[in-house]
């Protein structure tokens, strides 16, 4: 049985369509990622699946329970780590977990042992009695992860679990999630706009843009689906105006884009195309300033699916990024 | 039920970690009690009254002696003698003195002839409290002036003997019930409304909503926790305020028990009102802005600082609906008259009905989703 089944979910906020007919299944024990920029509809979708928002139309089941007609059973089966850090700053790490264990109805007999094990798993045992306000951002995120697991859920939802964390804390959170996942038959659905996060953590990824599913597969297959196995980023001293066309005409080149003087060339043969570029530059007496060859990334996949670079989308100001609005992602 | 207790436990643990919140909610009503209680409660003293004696007769001297005696007794005013009324009136306009008593040239003669003797009191009526005090003092002074020595066996005129059934109530004690209700209200605002909307804005409610906690448990949890916090504030003010205001026998156990009931019912009524106002609010500025408006709209019409009998009709209409009115009346009955439940049953009934209506409306408006 699939842990999550989503069928044609639509969500309108007035005239605005946040989610537009999304369908997918997540198998039990899978880590599934929703990848997309801010405002793509990821957080709205996660809020629908965790019963926080009713869908306008469509249906979904979590652990076999319908999100609308069996919402109480859904809530009893899931753990949720919201995007905003919502631990009580005035309470200690232990108290935060204790209150949520009680809210989930964890029996008194197993409560203490469970909280101890979770604090050990997120490496916060020695901080158990400290108020959360004294912890760093990365540690607070680990408190939230432990809190999300205190109900011993069958399905865990994480909404942008490493947003706002420094690179070291991000890697620590990834390792923690992988460790927890390896110990239990947990199904995980996470949203992210970090390519490396989705690539490293997820068994399968759904690329979401403007409330629609653009692609869905494993990271390897998604990358393989994009024409060109390599991307060559090269910059030249004084390229002639028709230089992009020259590069596009080289053998085994599928696509050429340029931005800020950097040409991004997709090729089915990285080393061969690199040689050809050097030869063409030499022939035209154009100096090469820099050259880098890289494998296809999920960013390339995103660009292939949406026509835009995800990293550019993330630079745009998020008009509805406000703590007082619930409609996000 | 354990989920309901988890919500209450969480709120109370946070409450305990925030001594600033507790101090703030007690500080305002205590300051108000001290400042208002002693600013408005005292008698006006040390005024200056100019006397222009144009008579210089025996009766004029009696009047001046009686006026001079006020200086030694109640100290309401001291007298300043003026030779001419023009100078006295100039000083009155310039604020050096607050009134001028003119004893006309034929005053003593008219007294002897019993021919409507008159004195003129010219006063600065821009301050109604001061002018009313001076008039009252001179009326009392003239009563003394009329008493014949020795008094007749049978009084010629009807007189009024005033009997006060309670000991003298200083204004600070009169103000205390309003301050207790204000402490409950302040805690309801800070520990209830502001806390509720802040938690909502910071996503803490989202944390609750994804757990299997029911709608009833959420509503009951928030309101029970809010009521407990408000009762703590109210009870603290009952004790501290009674000591500050000098309420006689403040720790009478039976009265404390009755006060506890009124504090509890008031706390629940006000938390119900707050929940109704905040149930659909998500902007943290709203409860903060509402705090000032509500405290004025609820506190002053309640009769906490001035008798409602002096209000115009529209203000009385607000007072009739205002839950503060009934709490202040009930607390005043218990604190100043030491009455039983019979005297305050109407107040308790209104507060319970008010709570029921507000809580029902809020419950209907409460959403289990975002």
Rg, Å, chain A Cα set:
23
Q: Is any Cβ of chain B less than 8 angstroms from the Cβ of A50?
A: yes
**Best mutation target, B18, B211, B283, to test chain A (most A CBs within 10 A):** B211
Q: Which of residues 284-343 of B touch A (CB under 8 A)?
A: 284
**Tokens of residue B359, six digits:** 């809580």
Task: Choose the closest CB to A324 out of B3, B209, B283.
Answer: B283
Burial class for A285, CB neighbours closer than 10 Å (0-12, 13-18, 19+): exposed
Is the model more confident about A317 or about A151?
A151
Q: Is the pLDDT of residue B163 over 90?
A: no
The helix/strand/coil state of A19 is strand
pLDDT at B365: 94
Contact A298, A199 (CB under 8 A): yes
Q: Is the pLDDT of residue B1 over 80?
A: no
Round the average pLDDT of chain B to a whole number and report it. Answer: 88
Q: How many CB atoms are closer than 10 A to CB B214?
A: 13
pTM of the model as a whole = 0.79
pLDDT at B153: 59
Determine, for residues B209 and A105 on separate chains, whether the beta-carbon distance falls below 8 Å.
no
Task: Choose the closest CB to B370 out of A52, A100, A323.
Answer: A52
Query: How far is Cα A230 from Cα B125, in angstroms, rounded to an integer?
Result: 95
Determine, for residues A88 and B6 on separate chains, whether the beta-carbon distance falls below 8 Å.
no
Contact B111, B148 (CB under 8 A): no
Determine, for residues B210 and A323 on separate chains, whether the beta-carbon distance falls below 8 Å.
no
Q: Is any Cβ of chain B less than 8 angstroms from the Cβ of A80?
A: yes
Q: Which of residues 149-208 of B touch A (CB under 8 A)?
A: 201-204, 206-208
| Closest-approach residue (CA) in chain A for B211 | A75
Q: Is the pLDDT of residue A76 over 90?
A: yes
Chain B residue numbers touching A80 (CB-CB < 8 A)? 207, 210
Determine, for residues B201 and A323 on separate chains, whether the beta-carbon distance falls below 8 Å.
yes
The helix/strand/coil state of A216 is strand
| Closest-approach residue (CA) in chain B for A44 | B370
Query: How far is Cα B243 from Cα B364, in angstroms, rounded to an integer?
Result: 43
**Best mutation target, B4, B206, B217, to test chain A (most A CBs within 10 A):** B206
pLDDT, tens digit, 9 for 90 and up, residues A285-319? 889 999 888 877 777 788 777 776 665 665 554 44
Reduced 3-state DSSP string for B201-212: HCCHHHHHHCCC
pLDDT, tens digit, 9 for 90 and up, residues A163-219? 877 888 888 888 888 888 877 789 999 998 888 888 888 999 999 998 999 989 988
Is the model more confident about A224 or about B95?
B95
pLDDT at A325: 41
* C-alpha distance from A216 to closest chain B C-alpha (Å): 27
Reduced 3-state DSSP string for B35-92: HHHHHHHCCCCCEEEEEEECCCCHHHHHHHHHHHHHHHCCCCEEEEEECCHHHHHHHH
pLDDT at B230: 95
ipTM of the complex: 0.77
**Tokens of residue B311, six digits:** 């209000």
pLDDT at A322: 39
Q: Is the pLDDT of residue A326 over 80?
A: no
Reduced 3-state DSSP string for B93-157: HCCCCCEEEEECCCHHHHHHHCCCCCCEEEECCCCHHHHHHHHHHHHHHHHHHHCCCCCCCCCCC
Query: How far is Cα A247 from Cα A265, in angstroms, rounded to an integer?
Result: 8
The helix/strand/coil state of A86 is coil
pLDDT at A315: 58
Confidence of residue A271 (pLDDT cuts 50, 70, 90): confident
Confidence of residue A266 (pLDDT cuts 50, 70, 90): confident
Chain B residue numbers touching A76 (CB-CB < 8 A)? 212
Determine, for residues B214 and A51 on separate chains, whether the beta-carbon distance falls below 8 Å.
no
The number of C-alpha atoms within 13 Å of A239 and in the hemisphere containing its C-beta is 21
| Percent of the residues in chain B that have a pLDDT greater than 70, as a whole number | 95
Determine, for residues B201 and A326 on separate chains, whether the beta-carbon distance falls below 8 Å.
no
Average pLDDT of the segment spanning A271-286: 88
Confidence of residue A321 (pLDDT cuts 50, 70, 90): very low
pLDDT at B155: 53
Q: Is the pLDDT of residue B351 over 90?
A: yes
pLDDT at B45: 83
Give, in degrees to the nearest 5, the angle at Cα A13 between A10 and A14. 115
Determine, for residues A52 and B17 on separate chains, whether the beta-carbon distance falls below 8 Å.
no
Q: Which of residues 122-151 of A touch B (CB under 8 A)?
A: 131, 147, 151
pLDDT at B69: 86
Contact B288, B194 (CB under 8 A): yes
Lowest mean pLDDT segment, chosen from A135-139, A277-281, B157-161:
B157-161
| Cβ-proximal residues to B30 (8 Å cutoff; 6+ apart), any chain | B179, B183, B237, B240, B241, B244
pLDDT at B93: 87
Q: Classify residue A238 as left (phi > 0), alpha (psi -120 to 50) or beta.
A: beta
Confidence of residue B41 (pLDDT cuts 50, 70, 90): low
Q: Is omega for the bond preceding B52 within 30 degrees of 0, making it cis? A: no
pLDDT at B32: 87
Report chain A's terminal Cα–Cα distance, integer Å: 29
Q: Which of residues 99-138 of B touch A (CB under 8 A)?
A: none
Determine, for residues B370 and A53 on separate chains, whether the beta-carbon distance falls below 8 Å.
yes
- Please give the helix or strand (H or E) that residue A156 lies within, else none: strand A155-159
DSSP character for A131? Answer: B
> Token pair 């306009």 is at which residue?
B93
Query: How far is Cα B123 from Cα A236, in angstroms, rounded to an integer?
Result: 97
pLDDT at B273: 96
Task: Choose the closest CB to B204 out of A72, A86, A103.
Answer: A86
Q: Is the pLDDT of residue B160 over 80?
A: no
Q: Which of B75, B10, B18, B5 is nearest to B47 (CA)?
A: B75
Confidence of residue A328 (pLDDT cuts 50, 70, 90): very low
Chain A residue numbers touching B288 (CB-CB < 8 A)? none
Chain B residue numbers touching A72 (CB-CB < 8 A)? 212, 214
Q: Is any Cβ of chain B less than 8 angstroms from the Cβ of A164?
A: no
Confidence of residue B158 (pLDDT cuts 50, 70, 90): low
Determine, for residues B10 and A131 on separate chains, whether the beta-carbon distance falls below 8 Å.
no
With residues binned 3-state (H G I as helix, E B as strand, rest as coil), the percentages for chain A, rounded to 5, are 40, 30, 35
Contact B13, B228 (CB under 8 A): no
Chain B residue numbers touching A93 (CB-CB < 8 A)? none
Q: Which of A87, A60, A86, A65 is nearest to A75 (CA)?
A: A65
CA distances from B55 to A78, A256, B105, B171 (A): 99, 116, 4, 41
Determine, for residues A103 and B213 on separate chains, whether the beta-carbon distance falls below 8 Å.
yes
| Cβ-proximal residues to B367 (8 Å cutoff; 6+ apart), any chain | B280
Determine, for residues B201 and A53 on separate chains, whether the beta-carbon distance falls below 8 Å.
no
| Cβ-proximal residues to B69 (8 Å cutoff; 6+ apart), any chain | none
Chain A residue numbers touching B6 (CB-CB < 8 A)? 99, 102-103
Determine, for residues B370 and A326 on separate chains, whether the beta-carbon distance falls below 8 Å.
yes
Query: How far is Cα B51 from Cα B68, in angstroms, rounded to an integer?
Result: 10
Task: Choose the closest CB to B10 out of A88, A131, A326.
Answer: A88
Q: Classify residue A261 as left (phi > 0), alpha (psi -120 to 50) or beta.
A: left
Average pLDDT of the segment spanning B223-248: 94
Q: Is any Cβ of chain A less than 8 angstroms from the Cβ of B213?
A: yes
Determine, for residues B211 and A151 on separate chains, whether the beta-carbon distance falls below 8 Å.
yes
Q: How far is CA B5 from the centre of its chain?
A: 37
Give, in degrees to the nearest 5, the angle at Cα B205 between B204 and B206. 90
Q: Is any Cβ of chain B less than 8 angstroms from the Cβ of A328?
A: no
φ, ψ of residue B114 in degrees (nearest 5): 50, 45
* C-alpha distance from B298 to closest chain A C-alpha (Å): 29
Q: Is any Cβ of chain B less than 8 angstroms from the Cβ of A251?
A: no
- Please give the helix or strand (H or E) that residue A59 lies within, else none: strand A57-62
* C-alpha distance from A105 to closest chain B C-alpha (Å): 7
Cβ-based contacts under 8 A for chains A and B:
80
Q: Which of residues 294-323 of A touch B (CB under 8 A)?
A: 323
- Dihedral through CA A212, CA A215, CA A218, CA A219, nearest 10? -100
């Amino acid at each position: 049985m699939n842990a999550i089944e989503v069928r044609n979910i639509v969500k309108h906020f007035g005239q605005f369509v946040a989610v537009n007919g999304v369908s997918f299944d997540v198998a039990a024990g899978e880590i599934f990622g929703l990848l997309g920029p801010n405002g793509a509809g990821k957080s709205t979708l996660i809020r629908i699946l965790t019963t926080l928002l009713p869908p306008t139309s469509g249906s979904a089941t979590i652990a076999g329970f319908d999100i609308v007609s069996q919402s109480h059973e859904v809530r009893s089966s899931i753990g949720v780590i919201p995007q905003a850090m919502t631990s009580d700053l005035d309470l200690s790490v232990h108290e935060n977990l204790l209150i949520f264990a009680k809210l989930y109805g964890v029996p008194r007999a197993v409560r203490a042992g469970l909280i101890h094990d979770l604090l050990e798993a997120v490496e916060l045992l020695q901080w158990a009695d400290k108020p959360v306000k004294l912890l760093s951002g990365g540690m607070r995120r680990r408190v939230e992860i432990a809190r999300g697991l205190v109900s011993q859920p069958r399905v865990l939802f994480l909404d942008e679990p490493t947003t706002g964390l420094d690179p070291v804390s991000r890697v620590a959170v990834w390792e923690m999630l992988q460790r927890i996942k390896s110990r239990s038959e947990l199904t995980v659905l996470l949203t992210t706009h970090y390519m490396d996060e989705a690539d490293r953590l997820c068994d399968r990824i759904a690329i979401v843009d403007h409330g629609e599913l653009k692609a869905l597969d494993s990271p390897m297959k998604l990358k393989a689906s994009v024409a060109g196995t390599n991307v060559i980023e090269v910059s030249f001293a004084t390229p002639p105006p028709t230089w992009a066309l020259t590069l596009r005409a080289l053998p085994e080149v599928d696509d050429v884009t340029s931005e800020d003087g950097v040409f991004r060339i997709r090729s089915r043969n990285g080393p061969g195309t690199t040689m050809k570029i050097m030869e063409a530059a030499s022939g035209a007496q154009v100096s090469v300033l820099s050259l880098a060859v890289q494998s296809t990334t999920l960013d390339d996949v995103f660009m292939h699916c949406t026509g835009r670079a995800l990293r550019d989308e993330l630079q745009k100001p998020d008009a509805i990024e406000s703590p007082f609005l619930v409609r996000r992602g | 039920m354990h989920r309901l207790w988890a919500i209450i436990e969480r709120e109370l643990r946070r409450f305990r970690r925030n001594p600033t919140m507790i101090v703030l909610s007690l500080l305002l009503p205590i300051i108000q009690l001290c400042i208002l209680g002693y600013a408005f409660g005292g008698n006006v003293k040390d005024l200056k009254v100019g006397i222009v004696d144009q008579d210089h007769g025996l009766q004029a001297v009696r009047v001046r002696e009686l006026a001079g005696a006020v200086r030694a007794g109640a100290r309401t005013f001291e007298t300043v003698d003026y030779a001419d009324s023009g100078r006295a009136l100039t000083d009155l306009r310039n604020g050096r003195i607050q009134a001028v008593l003119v004893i006309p040239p034929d005053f003593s003669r008219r007294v002897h002839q019993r021919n409507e003797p008159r004195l003129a009191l010219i006063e600065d009526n821009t301050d109604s409290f001061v002018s009313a005090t001076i008039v009252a003092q001179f009326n009392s002074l003239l009563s003394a002036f009329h008493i014949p020595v020795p008094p007749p066996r049978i009084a010629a005129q009807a007189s009024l003997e005033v009997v006060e059934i309670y000991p003298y109530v200083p204004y600070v004690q009169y103000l205390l019930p309003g301050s207790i209700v204000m402490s409950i209200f302040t805690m309801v605002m800070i520990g209830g409304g502001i806390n509720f909307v802040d938690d909502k804005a910071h996503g803490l409610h989202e944390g609750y909503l994804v757990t299997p906690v029911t709608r009833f448990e959420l509503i009951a949890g928030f309101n029970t926790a809010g009521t407990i916090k408000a009762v703590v504030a109210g009870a603290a003010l009952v004790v501290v305020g009674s000591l500050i205001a000098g309420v006689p026998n403040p720790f009478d156990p039976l009265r404390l028990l009755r006060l506890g009931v009124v504090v509890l019912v008031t706390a629940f009524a006000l938390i119900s009102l707050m929940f109704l106002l905040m149930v659909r609010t998500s902007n943290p500025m709203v409860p903060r802005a509402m705090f000032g408006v509500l405290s004025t709209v609820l506190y002053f019409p309640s009769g906490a600082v001035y008798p409602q009998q002096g209000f115009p009709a529209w203000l009385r209409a607000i007072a009739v609906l205002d839950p503060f009115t009934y709490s202040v009346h009930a607390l005043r009955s218990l604190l100043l008259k030491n009455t039983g439940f019979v005297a305050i049953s109407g107040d308790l009934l209104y507060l319970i009905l008010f709570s029921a209506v507000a809580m029902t409306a809020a419950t209907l408006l409460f959403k289990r989703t975002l």
